[in-house]
Every structure is written in structure tokens, then in C-alpha cells.
Amino acid sequence: MNAVSVTATIAPGRRQLVNVRRELLLTAKMRVVWLLVLFAVIAATALFRIALLGVLQPASSSQSMHDALLPPRGDIVDRNGIPLARAFPAYSLWFNPKAMGDGGSPLVRSPAEVAAALVHIFPDEDLAKLTARLASGEAGYLKRRILPEEANRVHALGEPALESPFENERLYPQGSMAAHVLGFVAADGHGRVGMEQVFDKQLTDPVARAVPSVLSLDTRVQGALEEELYRGMRDSQAKGAAGIVLDVDTGEVLALASLPGFDPNLINNAGAANIFNRMSNQVYELGSVMKPITVAAAIDGGVVTNLAQRYPAGAPLKIGGFEIHDDENFGPSLNVPEALVHSSNIVLAQVGDRLGGHALRQTMTSLGFNERPYIELPARGMPLWPRSQDGGEWSRITTMTVSFGHGIAISPLHLACAYAALVNGGVWRPATLLKVDPGHIPAGRRVFRAATSARMRQLLRMIVADGTGRKANAAGFRVGGKTGSAEKPGAHGYQKRSLITTFAAAFPMDHPRYVVLVTLDEPQGTTATSGQRTAAWNAAPVVGRVIPRIGPTLGIMPDETRDIDISDISPLVGNGNGG
């Protein structure tokens, strides 16, 4: 009661003050409560989130490890797993003048200063060109494929206009090696020219691209072949060269080269001119290298039953207005081994004539000379197959010219496959750039009898041991082969000074494993080739240098104590005078 009386005595103004204070206190308390509630909600949310993260699955990662490691385009490897083409994430240097976004100068510093700094990072760049490029203000690549440390150094320049986007490039670690087999990847992401084009589907397929595509090539063999081919081309100042190493039993191509080559890492105008493949796409009249095929067909067909039988060779052979010559007169008569050793057109024309157009044509058809070569490459040349007469057969003169390798133009690849059939027991198999599983060797088709093939091995060995192929006789490797120097046809008939020289060889002749074929386009007589321009002086030495390099790599050790037995035919080769 006292309190009431006291309150009643308080002046009205003071009472009002107390009310205000109470209201203020209430508001402050309410605010504190609200703040507490807010903190509580935040804490609860955080706890809930932590519980959620701990109890439930964290956000599933967008891709599995397999997906992360899947290359954007599959690798291509050689038969031993050495990468030949690989998807390679690389930085490039892109100039983006709009990066600043203020419409002013694209660069912080002057173009000359930036260019000088860039040249400091990339010493092979041209300062003046780079300055002009930066000053022009046009967007574009300044450089493709820069190293990560270079990208870091560019970033450190502090120029927003210099961007280094991460791009998936195609890298060919071996440079220009096997460029014609591999091809390249164009800007649209699809392969061109070689196996890049052939494998395009499986290299881009999400499932198949995880596994590298295996080629039959052997990098070491390819390197040796290219190097020696290049040396032979340089020594003889030839326009071009082509070479192949082929497994005679499976048809696998261990090396295939066409020079001059190109670098698939950098396709420019100079490189684009060399994309043409001389091995599979260009057809040539290969000349004398075809002679062993005619002889094999004649032995197979029962026309040549006695190798000692002599054929007149002293004078040019006149057939219906044409004359068939030899390079030199080897004597009044020659037998078949002598004709091969001396490469006599006159005798081979007679052998072909006796064999007849039908049989010769059939042999060449079974060797695939009338169709494009069998290989996976898209660049395959159509042979120039001699025209038939009304009855579908070749004329007599055609048969005779074809029998010594003229009047028919085939690619060197055709010839390599034919030589494989000639020495492997007589079975023709298509050439392939895919590694062949030992259990899945193609059956092929029989062209020659096994006995004929054995005889041909002796004859080919004799040509290298005693004939025109002596410069290919690598000691201990039992090389056998045949030279061929054909004149190129021009506007006014055959050109005496433009030759196609070929050496087709196989080794080791006691059990042939590989065919090595080398072709040079328009070799010149130089000091290195003793002033000669025929195959014996330029193509044969290349083979003679390639075989000792690749033989041990391929498991063929040189052995001078072993050789194919040619004692039964070597007495047949005399001095050319019928002796």
C-alpha cells in the first residue's frame, strides 16, 4: 500500500520517464532475444549441414578415375608399345585484345615492351613481327604448344590480354618419322592421310579410345630405314625415295617410308607438298625387278624345266616393229640364271613369250597387280594394267614387255608383297599395318609352288652374291634380291636420264623372314655413287646398309658360316660366252 501511495506522490512527468525506460529495456531485451534466435538458427543450420555432410554421401564426383584418364583421342603405338601419336594437353598463347573490357589499349604496357618480354621467354620468336602483331590488335594465336613453365612466365607478365588456354593437341613424339603411315589430325579434330584417318572412328570412340591402337611398325626399324633412305637419296641427289620392310610370313609392315617427308606436328605448305606417298600411291614401271616374277611363273608353269637351257641374246629381239635391247651385250646366248644375274631383257622376253600372255597375266593377277594394293592406308595407287586385246588376253608384244617389267606400272608396295610371296614358299598375303596376332595370320593365296619358291631363293641369292646386287650383300645376312633401273616415260618416249631405281631384297635367304625394298626417284650419277645412276649403285647400297642395322633388332643374327646352298646353280653362271 505504501508503494502505491509513493507512486501516487510521483509527479506525472517522472512517471512518464519510467515508462519510456521500461519500453526501451523491453526493446533491448527483445533485440537480444532475436539476435540469440538468429545465432541459434545459424548454428543449427551449420550443425545440420555438418551432420548432412557426415552422414549422407558428399556430392558424388562428376567423373570416375577411368573417365578422368580417358584421352580425348586414343593413342597410336608401334608394335612394342612406343607411342607414335598421343593426345597431349598443352597450353597455347592466345592474344585477346578485348580482355581489358574498357575499350582502351589492349595491353598495359606498350606492344614493344610486351613483345620484348615475350621474346625473352620464347627466344625463337621474331621481335619485329611480334610487336606488329600485338600492335595490330587482332585476336589470334601468338604461339601453339607452350610448356607449363613458359605459360607461368607469360602469366607473370601481368598482361590480361595474353591468355594461355589449355588445349588438347595431337603430339607425334617421333617427329616426322613414319609421317605417311600416321597422317595427322586436322583442325576439325578428324584424322587425315594415314592411320589417323583410318582409325578415326575408334580413336574418338569413348569406349575404344581408352586402349591404344597398335600398329605393326617397329620404331627402330622405321628409324633405320628412314635414315639410310635419306642418306641414299642425298648421296644420289634423287628427287624422292621410298622404302618398306615387310614380314614375309604375316604381311606386317615393319617400316614404311616415303621421302621427302613432312612433320605431322606442323602441317604447313612445305609439308603439305610431301604428303603424297610414293610407296603405296605412286605407280611406276619398275623394270628389271619384275624379272624374277616372270621366271618364277615360267618355272611354275613348266616352261623353264632346265635352268641350263640357253636362249639367244647376242642381237636385239625384233617383234612386230619393236626392238628389245639389253644394256650391253652379254654374249651370244644366256641361260636363265645368267639372264637374271646380268638382267637381260632379250632372254626374259623369250621366256615370257614361251610362257604366254595368259599364264603371265594370271600370275600377275594373283599377285594383285591389277588392283589397288592391299593396305589400310587411304592413299593407294591404281596400277596401270596393260590393255587386253579382243579376246581378253594380252598381245604378244605386251606379254614380252611385261615379262621384263615394262608396260605395266605398279606401286612399290605391290612389288614388296609379290617378293614376299616369291620367297616365303609361294603364298601371297595382303600387306597390313596392324599388328598380327600369331594365331591369326591370314591364310593368303598360293601363287607359286613351294619348290618354285625354293628355286627363286637360290636365284635371288645368286644375284646378290655374284650379280648386280653385290653392294647389298651385307656380310652374314644371306641377302637375296634383284635390282631394277627403269627409265621414266616422258612426253617423247622413255627418258634416258630419268630413272626409277629399285632394289627388292629378302633376308636371310636360307629362311626368309623380311622383304626390304628401296626405290629412288630420278637418282643422279654423283661421286658417292661412282658416277652411276643405276640401282646397283644407289638402291642396292641402301639395302646393304639397312639390313645390318635392322637384322639383329629383328632377331636375325649375322652368321657367315650359314648360307643357302646355291652349289647346284652356280656352275650355270659362266662368263657370258656360253661357258
How far apart (Å, rounded) are the C-alpha atoms in residues 146 and 143? 7
Nearer to another protein, 291 or 478 (CB): 478
Nearer to another protein, 9 or 61 (CB): 61
110 is catalytic: no
Query: Contact with another protein (CB under 8 A): which of 72, 442, 548, 578?
Result: 548
Query: Contact with another protein (CB under 8 A): which of 177, 297, 434, 460?
Result: 177
Q: Are 179 and 226 in contact (CB under 8 A)?
A: no
Query: Contact with another protein (CB under 8 A): which of 129, 322, 475, 571?
Result: 475
Nearest-5° angle of CA 465, CA 470, CA 471? 145
Query: Contact with another protein (CB under 8 A): which of 37, 53, 272, 450?
Result: 53
* Stretch near another protein under the rule CB under 8 A, chosen from 166-174, 313-321, 405-413, 484-492: 166-174
DSSP code string of 495-545: EEEEEEEEEEEEE-TTS--EEEEEEEES----TTTTT--SHHHHHHHHHHH
How far apart (Å, rounded) are the C-alpha atoms in residues 366 and 404? 18
φ and ψ of 455, to 5 deg: -65, -40
Question: Cell numbers 652374314 correspond to what residue?
Answer: 476
Question: Cell numbers 610407296 correspond to what residue?
Answer: 279
- Active-site choice (213, 288, 403, 411): 288
* Stretch near another protein under the rule CB under 8 A, chosen from 109-117, 188-196, 425-433, 475-483: 475-483
Task: Say which amino acid occupies 520.
Answer: L
How far apart (Å, rounded) are the C-alpha atoms in residues 49 and 52? 5
Query: Contact with another protein (CB under 8 A): which of 174, 403, 411, 501?
Result: 174
Total residues contacting another protein by CB under 8 A comes to 38
Binding to another protein in span 20-49, by CB under 8 A: none
Q: Does 477 bind another protein (CB under 8 A)?
A: yes
How far apart (Å, rounded) are the C-alpha atoms in residues 152 and 115? 16
Binding to another protein in span 218-247, by CB under 8 A: 219-220, 222-223, 226-227
Positive/negative CA dihedral, 89, 90, 95, 101: positive
Helix (H/G/I), strand (E/B), else coil: 303 = coil
CA atoms within 13 A on the CB side of 339: 32
Query: Contact with another protein (CB under 8 A): which of 81, 89, 140, 314?
Result: 89
Nearer to another protein, 265 or 288 (CB): 265
Binding to another protein in span 54-73, by CB under 8 A: 54-58, 61, 65, 68-69
Taking only Cα atoms into account, the Rg of the chain, rounded to an integer number of angstroms, comes to: 39
Q: Does 149 bind another protein (CB under 8 A)?
A: no
Q: Does 280 bind another protein (CB under 8 A)?
A: no
Q: Does 507 bind another protein (CB under 8 A)?
A: no
Where are any strands of DSSP class E within 399-513? Answer: 427-428, 445-446, 480-490, 493-507
Element containing residue 322 per DSSP (H, E): strand 322-324
DSSP code string of 211-253: SPEEBS--HHHHHHHHHHHHHHHHHTT-SEEEEEEEETTT-BE
* Stretch near another protein under the rule CB under 8 A, chosen from 117-125, 423-431, 505-513, 553-561: 553-561
Query: Contact with another protein (CB under 8 A): which of 81, 175, 314, 490?
Result: 175
Query: Contact with another protein (CB under 8 A): which of 19, 560, 567, 579?
Result: 560
Q: What is residue 287's DSSP assignment?
A: G
Query: Contact with another protein (CB under 8 A): which of 72, 79, 83, 97?
Result: 83
Q: Does 171 bind another protein (CB under 8 A)?
A: yes
Task: Write out the residues near another protein by the rule CB under 8 A.
Answer: 53-58, 61, 65, 68-69, 82-83, 86, 88-89, 171, 173-177, 219-220, 222-223, 226-227, 475-477, 548-549, 552, 557-561
> Active-site residues: which are they?
288
